[in-house]
Copies of this chain bind each other. A is one copy, B any other.
Amino acid sequence: MTGTTLKEISKALGISISTVSRALKNHPDISSRTKTKVAELANLLDYEPNANAIGLRTNTNKVFGLLIPSISNSFYDSFVAAVEEESRKVGYSIMILQSGDNAEIEVENLKLCRQNRVSGVFVCIASQTQHYEPFNKIKEQKIPLIFFDKVPDSYEGNKVCLADKTSAVLSANTIIQSGKKSVLAFFGNEKLSITAKRVEAFKDCFKNKKIKLETQFCNSMNEVYPQTLSALNKNQKPDAIFCMSDEILCGVMKAVLQLKLTVGKDVSVIAISDGFFPKIYAPEITYVETSGYKLGKAAFTRMMECINDNSEIKEIIIDSVLIQGASI
């Protein structure tokens, strides 16, 4: 009914189940003659190993858990794409679990990973995650755990993240070198430590400079848009705007378009982005690249290291680079 099993093949060939099993995995104990016999019949009968049985027997799954706040986000989905791509190459699949940035759902999802005996889990923690026992449980089961992007400060573990400060500093210095005098800087969710770090580093760059700097925290395009609009309508409007994320960039640009300003001439804009959005505008926006794709590749590499030799804990930081557009 459902699928061919080793037992069926063994019966049909008059050999034992173990021989069939070994034949299929090219075990040296088995003669090449029976190997081909087995292979042929298995092929004919469309034999496919039962992943559950294997998982039960070996107590692992060829599956990675991937915990993420939301997949509808160009940064995360390029991360996911990268991890999936690499995983497939080595025979792993990925199980995606969204938390909706909700800490409770996050622990549910961690539980799911344990129940499924996944081979490893990648996690980008929710903003309000406070308790780390669920993560400890994962570790107790010897399941490799890789934090990425939003990583916990106060918890030890493998971490792969972007150079938070570098990207902010790079942006700030670009603005300073261009000789701008009044800067409006938009940052994301104030509660996130990544935001805090960036703000601090960014502000530091402007110390002792004769440049006016105003910083604001925003969570969505719909907040940024009106704020930019009113800022640009003031008498002393900013001559440079910094955008910490794509969403913010979109909000800023919407205001810029609304006022029919030309970026790079009437006002300068610089963003932190993974690169898609800056290129949909003309002139293109100058940005500091933070690639979800690269981050994904790095996280995957780290995961494989953990699986192969359960080595010590590492924190990896992906550097960012400035991509010149014509907006500043």
Contact = CB atoms under 8 A, between A and B. Distances in A.
Interface of A: 2-3, 46, 48-53, 55-56, 59, 61, 63, 70-74, 77-78, 80-81, 84-85, 88, 93-98, 100, 105, 108, 111-112, 114-117, 137, 141-142, 221, 250, 253-255, 257-258, 260, 262, 279-283
Given A3-B114, A49-B115, A94-B96, A77 B84 contact: no
A12 to B, nearest CB: 19
Contact of A50 (B48, B53, B70, B115): B115
A200 B149 CA distance: 46
Contacts of A94: 95-96
Contacts of A72: 74, 77-78, 81
A73 B161 CA distance: 23
A115 B48 contact: yes
Contact of A55 (B55, B80, B142, B283): B55
Given A81-B98, A117-B52, A280 B105 contact: no
B281 A115 contact: no
Contact of A116 (B51, B85, B254, B279): B51
A78 B117 CA distance: 28
Given A56-B52, A74-B72, A117-B50, A3 B141 contact: yes
A-B pairs with the 8 shortest C-beta distances? Answer: A52-B55, A258-B282, A52-B56, A257-B282, A250-B280, A51-B116, A51-B115, A72-B81
